[in-house]
């Protein structure tokens, strides 16, 4: 109360509205991997520094482009088709030695992320293109990003290029452990194997081999999701195309009879300078050879796009992927059944399918703990994470406020107003707000006198999060003619 000492008119403004909740961002992935450089403009080393960016142009400016591949890893075989002296076409075979191409795919992964709807994200550069992918580097990057409060997703696409599956599993275990510990982020993971092997007698065992032992503890599986298979993208390797040389040149399948006609060993730059039709034929065929990427980065973009267009309570599934030629493996119905619901491992793997008329579509929306009724769906887990973090950060004003009824009323009204808006947007199920959520706080309700004496203000919040219609069941029956 003001201390009035002299006669006059005084004005006091009284706030009748409760504090409001500022919602945290729901889709801010953190990418960890190797980059061409890590420089802030002309000075400043960004290695091991979490750096926010908003576009691929930002990434190029700070971290450079893709690794330059060695030209000898491409073999060109050209069969010149002739009728008499007239060339009628070229049969070109291009073979890329993928075993010797660079393991550093973060640039391509970021490109795929932004193309599929990604926005703001964090980059942790853990080194340059000087060696192989190392478990210690990736784990160091995870430790660094753990200190950042903003990221809500963890993506480590280069983990698939670790030399041993045990190292891959350790990195992914660290990812999901961090998400479970901090409870404000979600791990998006890939399978270690490009394709699920078909060698064992049980497809269940094949799936178990593909995703490994991560995570051992079932209680943390809800904080991560795995996607399968890898994707053939529309991107090409960063070879100096004109520096490539023709490995073998034949004419109608036979060696050229005139030595001057033999183009074996000729660099494409020479053909280009002569405006050769052979150069154009090779370039057209080379453009059909594409990079295969794990799906985690594209899925991070899908999460961002769905959150922006529909809301973070919408399952990131039944969504088409951009810049994808096709999934690396065609998943059959029986395989999809075992990926989605696996009674042996208790782990669900979300399948990406090539659907006629729709393109490449994500047809799975489950966490790795896909057999758990409570935390089965990705959108449910992420909704709770966003709401928990938003309410926690917006409740700081109540610290050291009197632990009495007026404060309780403000806190309850603040949370109820926020959840009412979520219910109105369709995030919560229920015909009325009372059916969709509840907020309890008060002495005798959530607190005892001992709680108040020890300075604890306890709020209980319940939410009925809308779950996706995963199985649409149409029942038909034949009616008998009645007239």
pLDDT, one tens digit per residue, over 317-348 is: 999 999 999 998 888 888 888 888 877 778 88
pLDDT above 70 (res 42): no
Structure tokens, 413: 């009204």
Structure tokens, 18: 């409760």
Q: What is the DSSP letter of 443?
A: B
Report pLDDT for 200.
Answer: 47
With contact defined as beta carbons under 8 Å apart, do 130 and 280 qualify?
no
Where does the pLDDT of residue 40 fall: very low under 50, low under 70, confident under 90, or very high at 90 and above?
Answer: confident
Span 428-442, mean pLDDT?
93
The angle formed by the CA atoms of residues 334, 336 and 341, to the nearest 5 degrees, is: 100
Q: How many CA atoms lie within 13 A of 247 on its CB side?
A: 12
pLDDT above 70 (res 37): yes
The domains located in the chain, with CATH, are 29-63+104-229+294-380 (3.40.50.11780), 71-99+238-286 (no CATH), 395-463 (no CATH)
Residues 184-237: pLDDT tens digits? 999 999 988 766 555 444 555 555 666 777 777 778 999 999 999 999 999 998
Report pLDDT for 185.
Answer: 95
Q: Are strands 74-83 and 186-190 parallel, antiparallel or unpaired?
A: unpaired
Residues 107-138: pLDDT tens digits? 999 999 999 999 999 999 999 998 899 999 99
Structure tokens, 348: 């669900």
pLDDT above 50 (res 378): yes
% of the chain beyond a pLDDT of 70: 94
pLDDT above 50 (res 45): yes
Report pLDDT for 196.
Answer: 57
pLDDT above 80 (res 483): no
Where does the pLDDT of residue 271 fall: very low under 50, low under 70, confident under 90, or very high at 90 and above?
Answer: confident
Report pLDDT for 204.
Answer: 53
Mean of all residue pLDDT scores within the chain: 89
Burial of 123: CB neighbours in 10 Å, binned 0-12, 13-18, 19+: buried
Place of tokens 């001992």: 450
pLDDT above 70 (res 106): yes
Residues 154-185: pLDDT tens digits? 999 999 999 998 999 999 999 999 999 999 99
pLDDT above 50 (res 20): yes
With contact defined as beta carbons under 8 Å apart, do 349 and 355 qualify?
no
Report pLDDT for 275.
Answer: 65
Span 81-97, mean pLDDT?
87
The angle formed by the CA atoms of residues 441, 444 and 450, to the nearest 5 degrees, is: 100
Where does the pLDDT of residue 380 fall: very low under 50, low under 70, confident under 90, or very high at 90 and above?
Answer: very high
- Among 208-217, 256-265, 285-294, name the one with the lowest average pLDDT: 208-217
pTM exceeds 0.75, yes or no: yes
d(CA 133, CA 139): 11
The angle formed by the CA atoms of residues 182, 186 and 192, to the nearest 5 degrees, is: 120
203: phi then psi, degrees, rounded to nearest 5: -65, -30
């Amino acid at each position: 109360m003001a201390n009035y000492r002299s006669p006059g008119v005084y004005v006091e403004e009284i706030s009748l509205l409760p504090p409001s909740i500022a919602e945290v961002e729901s889709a801010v992935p953190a990418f960890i991997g190797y980059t061409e450089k890590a420089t802030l403009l002309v000075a400043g080393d960004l290695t091991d520094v979490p750096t926010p960016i908003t576009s691929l142009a930002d990434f190029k400016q700070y971290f450079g482009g893709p690794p330059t591949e060695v030209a000898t890893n491409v073999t060109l075989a050209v069969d010149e088709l002739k009728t008499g002296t007239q060339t009628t076409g070229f049969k070109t075979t291009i073979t890329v030695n993928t075993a010797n191409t660079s393991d550093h795919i973060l640039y391509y992964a970021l490109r795929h992320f932004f193309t599929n709807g990604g926005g703001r994200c964090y980059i942790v550069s853990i080194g340059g293109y000087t060696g192989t992918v190392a478990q210690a580097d990736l784990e160091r990057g995870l430790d660094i990003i753990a200190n950042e409060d903003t990221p809500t997703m963890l993506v480590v696409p280069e983990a698939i290029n670790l030399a041993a599956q045990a190292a891959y599993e350790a990195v992914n275990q660290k990812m999901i452990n961090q998400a479970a510990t901090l409870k404000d982020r979600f791990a998006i993971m890939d399978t270690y194997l490009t394709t699920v092997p078909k060698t064992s007698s049980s497809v269940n065992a094949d799936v178990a081999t593909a995703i490994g032992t991560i995570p051992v503890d079932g209680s943390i599986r809800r904080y991560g999701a795995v996607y399968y298979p890898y994707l053939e993208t529309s991107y090409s390797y960063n070879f100096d195309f004109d520096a490539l040389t023709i490995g073998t040149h034949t004419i109608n399948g036979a060696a050229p009879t005139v030595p001057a006609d033999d183009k074996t060993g000729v660099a494409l730059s020479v053909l280009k300078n002569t405006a050769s039709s052979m150069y154009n034929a090779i370039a057209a065929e080379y453009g059909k050879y594409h990079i295969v990427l794990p799906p985690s980065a594209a899925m991070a973009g899908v999460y961002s796009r769905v959150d922006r267009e529909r809301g973070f309570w919408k399952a990131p599934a039944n969504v088409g992927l951009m810049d994808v030629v096709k999934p690396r493996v065609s998943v059959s119905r029986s395989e999809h059944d075992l990926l989605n619901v696996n009674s042996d491992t208790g782990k669900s793997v979300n399948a990406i399918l090539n659907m006629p008329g729709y393109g490449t579509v994500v047809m799975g929306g489950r966490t790795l703990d896909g057999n758990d009724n409570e935390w089965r769906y990705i959108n449910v887990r992420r909704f709770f994470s966003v709401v928990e973090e938003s309410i926690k950060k917006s409740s700081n004003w109540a610290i050291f406020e009197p632990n009495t009824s007026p404060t309780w009323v403000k806190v309850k009204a603040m949370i109820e107003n926020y959840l009412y808006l979520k219910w109105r947007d369709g995030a919560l199920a229920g015909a009325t707000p009372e059916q969709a959520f509840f907020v309890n706080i008060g002495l005798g309700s959530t607190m005892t006198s001992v709680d108040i004496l020890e300075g604890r203000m306890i709020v209980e919040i319940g939410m009925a999060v809308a779950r996706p219609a995963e199985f649409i069941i149409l029942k038909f029956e034949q009616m008998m003619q009645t007239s």
